[in-house]
Structure 1
Amino acid sequence: MTITTALTPEIVARPRSVERLVAGMATSDGAGVKLTRVLTQPLQRRLDPFLMLDAFGTDNPDDYIGGFPDHPHRGFETVTYMIAGRMRHRDSAGHEGLLQNGGVQWMTAGRGIVHSELPEQEAGRMEGFQLWLNLPAKDKMTAPWYRDIQSDTLPQFATPDGVTARVIAGSSHGVDGAVQRDATQPLYLDLHFDAGASFAQAMPAESNAFVYVYRGELQIGDTAVPAQRMAILANAPDRDGVVLRAAGPARALLIAGQPLNEPIAQYGPFVMNTQQEIVQTLQDFQSGRF
């Protein structure tokens, strides 16, 4: 559903600048799925509460056909946003869903889950993103949770300035996203810019935020952000949001959240607070407690 009226303007008087641009790292995961790891492990403290962002996009089935067979997670949430293609999810908690064009899969691994994500296509383009969102220490052993959000139910609005926004999490221009989280307060927007469009988003000064441009180019303050680049937004106590401008058509993700400021201990698909908890997690997984 597209909302075109009754929007609440976002007032940004002192926009953030770009601290630095980051080029992703080409890698593969699962059964050989080729992807670009945009938010890597060395950036986890800087972009707390976010742990990872993968971008995948290819017309070659050999790059994705193996998918992601059964694998475990504990201690965080995964948010998979599919722009093109079809992926079937199954997990050890009994959840099953089909992720397809424009849809979102939000999974809380919590105390432990084993799941698979396998393509339901043998040809054509597959494109999307997977974001890992940390859980606070008090919630790391919560019960696993899963939700499929189909494209036609994802909150969306169009601004008078020529931007269509899809609100996956948080709130923008008075429109609440599909998912809310109290501890990390994530904002996750997919923004589609017409040529010459601009977009303002207010955000708390203490939040960590970044923009990933996946089509075209954006201007943030004095910095041009080309496609396939992540712009980490600078933190400063006097800044109240961000303003994005596009000379030509562009698309980008705007992601922000409140840092947990807790220790991060990661071993592959497990993210806890201490190495002792990681050892316990490995023991639990090996003994079949997930």
Structure 2
Amino acid sequence: MVTVKAIYNPKRMTEGAGVSVQRVLGFETRYECDPFLLLDYFGSSSESEYMAGFPEHPHRGFETITYMLEGQVKHTDSTGRSGIIGPGEVQWMTAGSGIIHSEMPLSDSGKMYGIQLWLNLPQEYKMVAPVYRELKREEIPVVETTSSQVKVISGKYRKRDGGMQGLYKPVDIFDVKLWPDSVFDEVITPEFWSYKYFLFIYEGEVTVANDPKPIKAPCGVALSQGSIIQIRAGESGANFLFFGAEPNNEPIAWHGPIVMNTDAEIRKALEELSNGNFLK
């Protein structure tokens, strides 16, 4: 039976040019949550806390996966790609050898909320060419049962392939909506026993397995390895991101928006940023 291994309460901070962010996973959790580096729950119902957005900034060595819950964000980057994602949509950016991009909110509903996940690339793929991809609402398969609605963003759920797969790192990402007092009751098959799985509860509350203590949103949870998952929603239901992947089990050298394997690689990236030859 899968149980709660660790609970990550978010820490509020400001990122970008002044966006209110609740950091769930970060630098301190990088090894225990390998290959997931960071999880930010961002946004606000007050425009002053998000409209400044995330102006141009660099990334190298990992992937950013952004899932919008409310509002819209416009992406532009140094490869010439641009796009807009709204509620229930995904942008998946492979920074690879280096990219400079911006993520700027569009004021349409008076509020903006989303989740950004950083997925570390294995060493052999750190310097691949950068790629930007989008996943629209209608492209995400939805599996409905008597207890839940599961949007299969990536990976496979009940024989349904996700709307987008990792180019260099397989990953399961499901957006799960549980009806009140219902249970997400699933079996992890042997080919996924090496995966580490996590939850980010963003609405409502849940209990895991036989632990009676409710875990309330917003909150991150690391799950123990096992074959049976039982997650029960509280009386008002719950919404959570269920995600997992196989660890890279490699050294992690991390400085701001750059994640490599050695300090020497970090120094080189910073020198290239300073010298103007960061982009390959």
State the TM-score bracket (shorter-chain normalisation). over 0.9
- Check if 1:197 corresponds to 2:182: yes
Mean CA deviation greater in 172-181 or 94-103:
172-181
Shift of 1:251: 0.5
Shift of 1:169: 1.1
Shift of 1:185: 2.3
- Check if 1:218 corresponds to 2:188: no
Query: Match for residue 121 of structure 2?
Result: 135
TM-score normalised according to structure 2 size? 0.93
Contact map agreement 1:34 1:56 (CA 8 A) in 2: yes
Identity fraction in percent: 38
User: Mapping of 1:64-83 within 5 angstroms?
Assistant: 64-83=50-69
Contact map agreement 2:7 2:220 (CA 8 A) in 1: yes
User: Mapping of 1:87-236 within 5 angstroms?
Assistant: 87-121=73-107, 124-160=110-146, 162-181=147-166, 184-203=169-188, 204-221=192-209, 222=211, 223-235=213-225
Query: Match for residue 264 of structure 2?
Result: 276
Note the residue ranges of structure 2 that are not aligned, 5 or more in a row.
Answer: none
TM-score normalised according to structure 1 size? 0.90
Shift of 1:208: 1.3
Task: Pick closer, same or farther for the CA change 1:266–1:172 going to 2, 3 Å.
Answer: same
Contact map agreement 1:77 1:107 (CA 8 A) in 2: yes
Q: Which whole-Å CA distance do the structure 2 matches of 1:193 and 1:156 have between them? A: 13
Task: Pick closer, same or farther for the CA change 1:211–1:91 going to 2, 3 Å.
Answer: same
Shift of 1:209: 1.4
Task: Pick closer, same or farther for the CA change 1:241–1:108 going to 2, 3 Å.
Answer: farther
Shift of 1:181: 3.0
Residue 275 of structure 1 aligns to which amino acid in structure 2? Answer: D
Q: Which whole-Å CA distance do the structure 2 matches of 1:147 and 1:122 have between them? A: 23
Query: Match for residue 240 of structure 1?
Result: 227
User: Mapping of 1:247-286 within 5 angstroms?
Assistant: 247-248=234-235, 249-286=237-274
Contact map agreement 2:10 2:22 (CA 8 A) in 1: yes
Residue 244 of structure 1 aligns to which amino acid in structure 2? Answer: I
Shift of 1:56: 1.6
Note the residue ranges of structure 1 that are not aligned, 5 or more in a row.
Answer: 1-14
Task: Pick closer, same or farther for the CA change 1:20–1:207 going to 2, 3 Å.
Answer: same
Contact map agreement 1:172 1:201 (CA 8 A) in 2: no
Residue 21 of structure 1 aligns to which amino acid in structure 2? Answer: I
The CA RMSD over aligned residues, in Å, is 1.4
Task: Pick closer, same or farther for the CA change 1:50–1:241 going to 2, 3 Å.
Answer: farther
Q: Which whole-Å CA distance do the structure 2 matches of 1:214 and 1:60 have between them? A: 18
Segments ≥4 residues shifted beyond 4 Å: none
Q: Which whole-Å CA distance do the structure 2 matches of 1:35 and 1:66 have between them? A: 13
Q: Which whole-Å CA distance do the structure 1 matches of 2:228 and 2:267 have between them? A: 40
Q: Which whole-Å CA distance do the structure 2 matches of 1:75 and 1:44 have between them? A: 14
Contact map agreement 2:5 2:224 (CA 8 A) in 1: yes
Shift of 1:206: 2.3
1:84 to 45, 53, 70: 70
Contact map agreement 1:184 1:260 (CA 8 A) in 2: no
Q: Which whole-Å CA distance do the structure 2 matches of 1:201 and 1:150 have between them? A: 26
Shift of 1:159: 1.5
Say how many residue pairs are matched: 272
Contact map agreement 1:49 1:184 (CA 8 A) in 2: no
2:267 counterpart SS class: helix
User: Mapping of 1:37-48 within 5 angstroms?
Assistant: 37-48=23-34
Contact map agreement 1:205 1:241 (CA 8 A) in 2: no
Shift of 1:122: 6.4
Contact map agreement 1:60 1:123 (CA 8 A) in 2: no
